[in-house]
Amino acid sequence: MPDDQRDVAGTSSEIARVAGLLAGDARFASYQVSRPHPLLVVVREADRVVLLATADVWDHGRDLLRPYGAKIAEGDAALVLLGTPRDPDLAGARGRGLAALVPPGAGPEELFVAVAAALDLLEARARAESRGKWLNRYRYELGELIEISRALTTEREIDKLLGLILEKARFITGADAGSIYVVEGDDPDPARKLLRFKLSQNESVKFDSREFTVPISPRSISGAAALSKSLISLADVYELPAGAPYSFDHRFDEKIGYRTRSMLTAPLIDKQGDVIGVLQLINKKRDPKRRLASRDDVEDNVVPFDERSQELLTTLASNAGIALENALLYAEIRGLFEGFVTASVSAIEQRDPTTSGHSRRVADLPVGLARAVERVETGPYRDLVFRPDDLREIEIASLLHDFGKIGVREEVLVKAKKLYPWESDAIRGRIDFAIRTLEVEILSRKLRAMERGARGDDLLAFDEELRQRTAELEEAWTTIASANEPTILKSGDFARIEAVARDAYTDLRGNMHPLLTKGELASLSVAKGSLTNEEIDQIRSHVVHTYNFLRTIPWSKEFRRVPLIAGAHHERLNGTGYPSHLRAEEIPVQSKMMSISDIFDALTASDRPYKKAVPLDKALDILGFEVKDQHVDAELFRIFKEARVWEGAL
């Protein structure tokens, strides 16, 4: 017989001996012992496998081990060799599943120890891998919770936050669908509050949902969770626990063609321990990526929410409750702030009703211009980007840009003509007094003349004098009334006003007084508009008042530049503006936008009683002159005009 045949026969004989020993050993009774090949014995315990073979198999017949390669690689199978293999790399062999070496002809005791040791080794490896998987899963979940917490704490828009809470809750628990409710009402009794259904998400079915409210009652699952302030986990909502006060409305499933099975409902609780919302998850899936397209999919893939899912949802709900509370508080503060801004604008317009609506329009125009600037691809502003908070900052600064008018005397603020109404009335009174005095004087002279026997012609001369002098005084009033209009005063009109000012009248005590005081003469001599230089300074001071007022407000970080932006809207690029005479590079671009908008609205506004609205083309021409005079930014004006920003603000 050749040597290799004798070796195989000997190996087979040895394996047969080993198989017989194991089968006859009571200690192996709990194991499954089999001989799938003449050169191999297999011992099974649950999912773990120990292979027994001779060293010759390792050296010359490893193909016998190939069917078990995957289990060896996964740590579910180990190898015990009878004898020592010729392969010098035993360390490498141990890395490939070798658990023990026993001498040829080993007895039952040695074989039991070797197999038991191999099984213990496999169990130890399984425990280590399980711990590793658990640790990796724990690290993954912890990382996800940290990321979720970070996302929740940075989102302040309530609707977006609610969507984020629901999305993340579904993600970490493997839920197919879910809904979220917000508590409404101020009554301290929870049973008198309402749950508002805000939104739902469903991975398998697309449908339109609308907001609605339900009472907080134990008759609904969400209401029961809110009242008990605890999780409610249901394996199948169609088979509720006996005695449960709540029920499940299956009409929703029927309407959208869905099958709700497992459900996990958690209250969202704020720092004071009050429930402010409810989070409801539906259908935990074995495979989160699989859609539930049919009832069979639900049967195969939907499982109850396990304890770990409940722990994760409890942790997330705690963070979500605080995040929602902060978002609601932020919304309240924002509402309070917007109410303050609205009240401030109303106060401005109450002081100066002639400019009603100006603040709102000047707020819309710069925001529209900022959006237009973002669309340009060339020029100095091509890289300029405005975030939503930046646009809101521009809007607030523009709404409050004239708030400092509260610090300006009202008569100056609303002065429509060069003279104040009481000044005009006083001048008219003086002229009337002068005419009446003249009438009395001439009538007295006429009576004395009649007493002296004056003829008719002489008496008519008195009447003509009265007529001429009265006409002169009325002409003086006409000149004053004409000069009082806030139009451009022609050069010849100055001489006429000065001539009127030299006219005098006599009071009841016989004292002489000019028809116009120095102050009235100065007012009527204003070349353009209705304000004297002193009054212009008072009006200009509103910018300083605006800045001083706004900087006392503790603005949040995103709005900290509001005082600076509002306080610079009357600055000019060439440094001739006010109040700080800033030059182009020192003026915030937002203020430059506001300057164009402020001038445009002042020109085109139709609600000014003291002037007509300037036609659009003429208003743009005037702004063009402002550009040439280096008062406003040429590029911003070009964008303003080409984008027709005013159309979006109408």
Q: Domains of the chain: which residue ranges? A: 3-127, 157-330, 352-406+535-648, 421-529
pLDDT in tens, 347-361: 877 777 666 788 888
Adjacency order of strands within the sheet including 40-45: 32-37, 40-45, 48-54, 77-82, 98-102
Mean pLDDT for 195-205 is: 91
Residue 282's CB: how many other CB atoms inside 10 A? 27
Mean pLDDT for 542-567 is: 90
- Contact partners, residue 628, CB within 8 Å, separation at least 6: none
Question: DSSP assignment of 451-514, as one string?
Answer: HTT--HHHHHHHHHHHHHHHHHHHHHHHHHHHHTSSSPPPHHHHHHHHHHHH-EEE-TTS-EEE
Mean pLDDT for 636-643 is: 95
Q: Is 70 exceeded by the pLDDT of residue 9?
A: no
Q: What are phi and psi of 471, to 5 degrees?
A: -60, -40
User: 417: closest CA among 602, 604, 606, 611?
Assistant: 611
**pLDDT for res 145:** 66
**In angstroms, rounded to a whole number, what is the distance separating the alpha carbons of residues 598 and 601?**
5
Structure tokens at 52: 């027994």
Question: Is residue 239 a contact partner of residue 185, using CB atoms and an 8 Å limit?
Answer: no
For the chain, how big is the Rg over CA atoms in Å?
48
Confidence band for 489, pLDDT divided at 50, 70 and 90: low
DSSP 353: G
Q: Is 90 exceeded by the pLDDT of residue 394?
A: yes
DSSP 414: T
**In angstroms, rounded to a whole number, what is the distance separating the alpha carbons of residues 308 and 246?**
25
**pLDDT for res 343:** 87
**In angstroms, rounded to a whole number, what is the distance separating the alpha carbons of residues 366 and 580?**
22
Percent of residues, the chain, with pLDDT higher than 70: 90
Half-sphere exposure of 378 (CA within 13 A, CB side): 1
Q: Is the overall model pTM greater than 0.75, yes or no? A: no
**pLDDT for res 74:** 79
| Burial environment of residue 492 by CB neighbours within 10 A (0 to 12, 13 to 18, 19 or more) | exposed
Structure tokens at 53: 């073979």
Among 112-116, 247-251, 423-427, 498-502, the range scoring the smallest mean pLDDT is 498-502
Confidence band for 132, pLDDT divided at 50, 70 and 90: low
Confidence band for 146, pLDDT divided at 50, 70 and 90: low
pLDDT in tens, 455-471: 778 788 888 888 898 88
**In angstroms, rounded to a whole number, what is the distance separating the alpha carbons of residues 244 and 224?**
10
Mean pLDDT for 399-426 is: 85
Rounded to the nearest integer, the mean pLDDT of the chain is 85
Q: Is 80 exceeded by the pLDDT of residue 601?
A: yes
Mean pLDDT for 270-292 is: 89
Q: Is 90 exceeded by the pLDDT of residue 166?
A: no
CATH topology assigned to domain 352-406+535-648 = Hypothetical protein af1432 (1.10.3210)
Structure tokens at 10: 């000997």
Helix (H, G, I), strand (E, B) or coil at 38: coil
Question: DSSP assignment of 453-464, as one string?
Answer: T--HHHHHHHHH
DSSP 614: P
AA letter at 600: F
Q: What are phi and psi of 610, to 5 degrees?
A: -95, 0
Q: Is 90 exceeded by the pLDDT of residue 490?
A: no
Question: DSSP assignment of 120-150, as one string?
Answer: HHHHHHHHHHHHHHHHHHHHHHHHHHHHHHH
Confidence band for 6, pLDDT divided at 50, 70 and 90: very low
User: 73: closest CA among 92, 96, 46, 43?
Assistant: 96
Q: What are phi and psi of 420, to 5 degrees?
A: -70, 155
Among 194-203, 236-245, 277-286, 475-484, the range scoring the smallest mean pLDDT is 475-484
Q: Which residue has the higher pLDDT, 259 or 148?
A: 259
Among 154-168, 195-209, 569-583, the range scoring the smallest mean pLDDT is 154-168
Q: Is 70 exceeded by the pLDDT of residue 2?
A: no
Mean pLDDT for 279-302 is: 90
**In angstroms, rounded to a whole number, what is the distance separating the alpha carbons of residues 310 and 302?**
16
Among 225-239, 283-297, 445-459, the range scoring the smallest mean pLDDT is 445-459
Structure tokens at 626: 């402002």
Question: Which residues are bridge partners to 305 per DSSP?
Answer: none
Instruction: Give the Cα-Cα-Cα angle 84, 88, 91 (nearest 5 degrees).
Output: 90
Confidence band for 95, pLDDT divided at 50, 70 and 90: low
User: 588: closest CA among 381, 328, 429?
Assistant: 381
pLDDT in tens, 561-598: 999 999 999 999 999 999 999 999 999 999 999 999 99
Structure tokens at 410: 């009202």
**In angstroms, rounded to a whole number, what is the distance separating the alpha carbons of residues 391 and 389?**
5
Question: Is residue 626 a contact partner of residue 632, using CB atoms and an 8 Å limit?
Answer: yes
pLDDT in tens, 361-374: 888 999 999 999 99
Confidence band for 279, pLDDT divided at 50, 70 and 90: very high
Residue 189's CB: how many other CB atoms inside 10 A? 8
Measured between alpha carbons, how far is residue 104 from residues 79, 84, 309, 485 in Å? 15, 9, 53, 126
Q: Is 80 exceeded by the pLDDT of residue 264?
A: yes
**pLDDT for res 492:** 54
Mean pLDDT for 214-242 is: 92
Instruction: Give the Cα-Cα-Cα angle 354, 355, 356 (nearest 5 degrees).
Output: 95
Q: Is 70 exceeded by the pLDDT of residue 1?
A: no
**pLDDT for res 197:** 92
Mean pLDDT for 435-441 is: 87
pLDDT in tens, 70-83: 888 878 888 899 88
Confidence band for 130, pLDDT divided at 50, 70 and 90: low
User: 161: closest CA among 300, 333, 277, 292?
Assistant: 277
- Classify domain 157-330 by CATH architecture: 2-Layer Sandwich (3.30)
Residue appearing with tokens 């002098």: 469
Question: Is residue 178 a contact partner of residue 170, using CB atoms and an 8 Å limit?
Answer: yes
**pLDDT for res 142:** 63
